[in-house]
Structure 1
Amino acid sequence: MKKILIVEDEQRKLDSIKEFLTNEFPKFEYVEKRSYNSATKEIFENYKDYDIILLDMSMTTYDVTADESGGVPEPLAGANILDTMYLMDITTKVVVVTMYESFVGKKLSEFDIELKSNYPDNYLGFVFFSYKKTDWQIKLKTYITSYYDKNTNC
């Protein structure tokens, strides 16, 4: 079974991504994680189960619940996850899906180059998500189909 982990803390964005994926790839299995801590735990315990991780760059530390606000927002939580994956030699492929045009003073295009350089075994690229446009869907579909075309044994 083809399986994708979606790491996203914003419900509306998560719903849009899942709706698109289930329409385009209905036979895939999708697992959702909503915070840095829950994503980290899932990746490190079950990374072999996933072909691709769709990773938000900025997210809360903890899952938001009735009793938990989510903690301090982590602007580079996704980069921290990639860094730890690299250090632990976890080579699961990652596509960053973000609504932000810059991170820590760097344009998304500059950050993309840095991620490609720092995590060549993991990082496939980024998708700039927008509620108003659908070009993100084309780009995300391209990353996913390209990965599976190259890895036909999945």
Structure 2
Amino acid sequence: MSSALDFLDNNEPNFIILDMSLPTYEISDTESGGRPQGFGGLEILRYLKMSGLNCPTLVLTGYEAFMREEGIVELSQISEELNNEFGVFLKDVLYYNSAYSEWKNKISLILKNVGIY
């Protein structure tokens, strides 16, 4: 996650595809990257907002629900919360499942809408 923040300090990408679960620290010859942090992607979104980087961003996740202190939260609720907080640059929150192609079609449409594809 820290390398993503370092990159954003020096660059403004045209588009970001962001996973919600990110390693807590960098992978190297001596480090495994730590446990994935369930809402690590949220830290990246907050950094984008705080920095004023309005880079079109798509959250793509393989999880249909996330664990919070209050219990399991469905992806639809997470999506609504993220859109409320980051709607200026957040284009969508998609569930990735290799068995289906709907997510691919949605990504294509989003890329066309932002002028990339």
Task: Give distance in 2, aligned partners of 1:116 and 1:40.
Answer: 21
Q: Cα offset for 1:73?
A: 2.1
5+ long unaligned stretches in structure 1: 1-35, 150-154
Q: How does 1:128-147 map to 2 (within 5 A)?
A: 128-147=95-114
Pick from 59, 64, 69: which aligns with 2:32? 69
More helix by share: 1
Task: Give distance in 2, aligned partners of 1:44 and 1:143.
Answer: 25
Q: Tell me which residue corresponds to 1:5.
A: none
Q: Tell me which residue corresponds to 1:17.
A: none
The TM-score, its normalising length taken from structure 1, stands at 0.67
Q: CA RMSD in A?
A: 1.5
Q: Cα offset for 1:135?
A: 1.7
Structure 1's consecutive aligned runs of 4 or more residues displaced over 3 angstroms after TM superposition are none
Q: SS in structure 2 opposite 1:148?
A: coil
What is the identity, as a one-letter code, of the residue corresponding to 1:43?
A: L
Between the two proteins, the alignment pairs up a number of residues equal to 112
Q: SS in structure 1 opposite 2:79?
A: helix
The TM-score, its normalising length taken from structure 2, stands at 0.87
Q: Tell me which residue corresponds to 2:8.
A: 43
Cα deviation 1:3-29 (Å, max 9, x = unaligned) = xxxxxxxxxxxxxxxxxxxxxxxxxxx
Q: Tell me which residue corresponds to 1:25.
A: none
Q: How does 1:74-153 map to 2 (within 5 A)?
A: 74-103=37-66, 104=68, 105-148=72-115
